[in-house]
Amino acid sequence: MCRSSAISLCLWLAGCTLPLDSGGTDVDAASAPDSISGCALFAAAAFQPGTGQSVTLPSGATLWTFDAALTTGGRMDGVAALAQIVPGSCAGTLADTTVALPPSGTDTDFAKPLDLVRVGSDVWQFYETWRLAAGAPFGVKTTGRGVAKWDSASGQFTRASSLLWTADRPAYGQSALVDGAWVYAYGCLAAADGWTRDCYVARAPSSQLADVNAWQYATAVGEFTANPDGALPILIGVGDVSVRRHASGRLLASYLEPLDTVLQVRALLGPTGPFSAPHPVGQCAAPPDTFCVGAVQHPELDPDAATLAVTFARASFDPLTDDVRWPRLAYLPLPDALP
C-alpha cells in the first residue's frame, strides 16, 4: 500500500503573507535509498510502544513518552519511561515506566502524548485529548491540545489548568523545538488534496508555554500574528513533521507522507523556514498492505554530523502481529545533496 505523490515545496520569502508553491518534487520508493528495517525499540518493554518522543533531562537521563497503554491499565494516557540508548546503536535500558499523563478524578478524556521540550530545568509535554464518541471514526474524537509539566518527584506530567487549542486547529505540538527564547510548536492539517498535510507553526516565550494568550502564529518566514485564525502553512503537501536541531547544527524536518514508506528530510534556514527540497533518506521495510508512520528524530542519538537517528513503525488497516507493529530505530546517512 505504498503511494507516491507530487510534493509541493513551500518557499516563504521574508515579508510574504502567502506560501509560494515551486511546483513540487516527485519523491517515490524507486528514488529512495535501500530498504531499511532498523532494530526493535525497547523490545523487552512490557507494553506496545508507539514510535515515541524523547528529551534529555537535566540529570543526563533520557525521558521517552509513548502513545501506548500499560498492560496493567485500561486507559490510554500514554507511557513515560526513563530510558538510555547508546548513540549509534540499539543497545539500551528502559526503566521506571509509568502513566505519562494521569487523569484527574473527574477526567473523562484520554490523553495522547505528543512532543517534548526542555526549557532550562523544566520539561514540557505537548498532548492531545480524546473522548469516546459513538458514531465517530474508531469511536473517539479529539477534544483539544495543551501542555503538561514534568514532575520529577512523581515521574509523571501535570497538565496545565486548561487546553491551549481546540481540536479543529492544526495539531500544534506534534513536533516542538526550543530556539533561543522561544518554543515553536508544529502542527498539521489535511491538505487541499484531502490526502497529504499542510503544516503550521506557533510560538510562545519559553517561560509562558501554558498561557494561551502568549502564543503567536506564523504568517510568513519570521512573521507572526496573535490571531490563530491568521496562521498560514509553512509547508504544504507533506506528512506530519518532526523538526529538530541535528547534531550537525542544522535544522531538519523529517516526515512520511500518509500511507507511504519513504522517509524524507528537508533542511530549514530557521524555525519557520524556508525549507529545502525533499530528499529521501530511506524506504522503511514494510510487508504487503502496510505503510509506515513516524520518522521522528532523536538528536541525542545522532552518532555524528552525517547520520540521522529516527524512529518509525509499520501500520495497516488490518490487524498486525506484534513483531510487525513494533517500532523501529534506524540510523540513516544524510543525503550529500541536502543543504
- Per-residue pLDDT in tens (0 to 9) along the chain, 339 residues: 333 222 222 222 222 223 323 333 445 444 555 688 899 888 878 777 888 999 999 888 899 999 875 545 556 688 888 888 888 888 777 877 888 998 866 677 888 999 999 999 999 999 999 888 888 777 778 999 999 999 988 889 999 989 999 999 999 999 999 999 999 999 999 998 888 999 999 999 999 999 999 999 999 999 999 999 999 999 999 999 999 999 999 999 999 999 999 999 999 999 999 999 999 999 998 888 999 999 999 999 999 999 999 999 998 888 888 788 889 999 999 999 999
> For every residue of the chain, which 3-state class applies, written as one string?
CCCCEEECCEECCCCCCCCEECCCEEECHHHCCCEECCEECCCCCCECCCCCEEEECCCCCEEEEECCCECCCCCCCCEEEEEEECCCCCCEEEEEEEECCCCCCCCCCEEEEEEEEEECCEEEEEEEEEEECCCCHHHEEEEEEEEEEEECCCCEEEECCCCCEECCCCCCCCEEEEECCEEEEEEEEECCCCCCEEEEEEEEECCCCCCHHHCEEEEECCEEECCHHHCCCCEEEECCCEEEECCCCCEEEEEECCCCCEEEEEEECCCCCCECCCEEEEEECCCCCCEEEEEEECHHHCCCCCEEEEEEEEECCCCCCHHHHCCEEEEEECCCCCC
End-to-end CA distance of the chain: 31
- How crowded is residue 192: how many other Cβ atoms within 10 Å of its Cβ? 10
Question: What is the pLDDT, as a whole number, of residue 33?
Answer: 58
C-alpha cell at 5: 505523490
How far apart (Å, rounded) are the C-alpha atoms in residues 32 and 175?
A: 24
299 burial (CB, 10 Å; 0-12 / 13-18 / 19+) is middle
Query: Model pTM greater than 0.85?
Result: yes
Furthest C-alpha separation in the chain? 53
Domains of the chain are: 5-333 (2.115.10.20)
| pLDDT at 34 (0 to 100) | 67
Pick from 325, 333, 331: nearest CA to 85: 331
Instruction: Check residue 11 and give its pLDDT.
Output: 22
- Nearest Cα residue to 236 out of 268, 189, 199, 201: 199
Closest CA to 109 of 151, 149, 167, 66: 167
